[in-house]
Amino acid sequence: MNIDILSVFPEMFVGPFDHSIVRRAQDNDLATVSVHNLRRFSNDRRGIVDDYQFGGGPGMVMKPDPIFEGVETILMDLSQIEMAKTRVILTSPQGNMLTQELVVEFAQQLHLIIICGHYEGVDERVRENLITDDISIGDYVLTGGEIAAMVITDSVVRLLPGAIGSQQNLLGDSISSGLLQHPIYTRPAQFRDMNVPSVLASGHHENIKVWRRRKALERTLERRRDLLDIQNLSSEDRDYLESLGYNLNR
């Protein structure tokens, strides 16, 4: 997979992509991550990429011409097959919320282009005519879209086959499974006055499986009840949740 990022502050990416899974994926030719300075595509000799908004109002707006030029320059070298498997993403607080389902969808593409939003926003012609996805990573405002681009890149790259040692590691992740992850423990079995639940050391795999599922349900009920409303729960799951006082429409 190729990921191209257009940013006004490309220096922000020095470090985050040089370590851990993203670095390993690049070293193993599973992904190529390229960060481009958006100012390089400006037709202004000073590299200006923003201007005042029509109609008045506070804040500057990112100009359409450098963004179009940057994206079109990247697309110019792609084959028809690659073009068909390319998504152009704008990071924006008014975008659709990034979900694991969307991340999985992005990971199935051959190419992602991520435009880092900034200032008061981006000229609407970019949103209407250039991008395929308008993405937010949460209901809060960041200084710019660089951190959001890092989040998208990291979440996508880790799903690429071979990026993580075992694909089984992905299945138990919170959200990936549809629920929050059950509590996990490691050695020592006793630390100070705190003990690992005995069922986990019992060696009884079926009991461990049941315990983990129930704890995942409990944690999701406590912290992200909204996730339960969209899950395809088994009758055993439903019975257990109802025993905890959670009413489900059967």
**Cα 205 from Cα 248, distance rounded (Å):** 28
The closest alpha carbon to 88, from 64, 106, 100, 61, belongs to 106
- Is 173 a catalytic site residue? yes
Per DSSP, 65 falls in state H
C-beta atoms surrounding 238 within 10 Å: 17
The single residue of 69, 120, 214, 219 carrying the catalytic annotation is 120
Binning the chain into helix, strand and coil, the percentages to the nearest 5 are 40, 20, 40
Record the tokens describing residue 35, joined without a space.
């960060």
Question: Which whole-number Å values give the CA distances from 177 to 172, 174, 180, 217, in the listed order?
Answer: 6, 6, 8, 11
C-beta atoms surrounding 2 within 10 Å: 17
**Cα 228 from Cα 32, distance rounded (Å):** 36
The single residue of 11, 101, 173, 236 carrying the catalytic annotation is 173
**Cα 126 from Cα 146, distance rounded (Å):** 18
Q: Strands 86-97, 133-136: parallel, antiparallel or unpaired by DSSP?
A: parallel
**Cα 3 from Cα 177, distance rounded (Å):** 26
- Is 158 a catalytic site residue? yes
The single residue of 16, 66, 146, 158 carrying the catalytic annotation is 158
The single residue of 23, 40, 64, 93 carrying the catalytic annotation is 93
- Is 229 a catalytic site residue? no
- Is 192 a catalytic site residue? no
Q: What residues act catalytically?
A: 93, 120, 158, 173
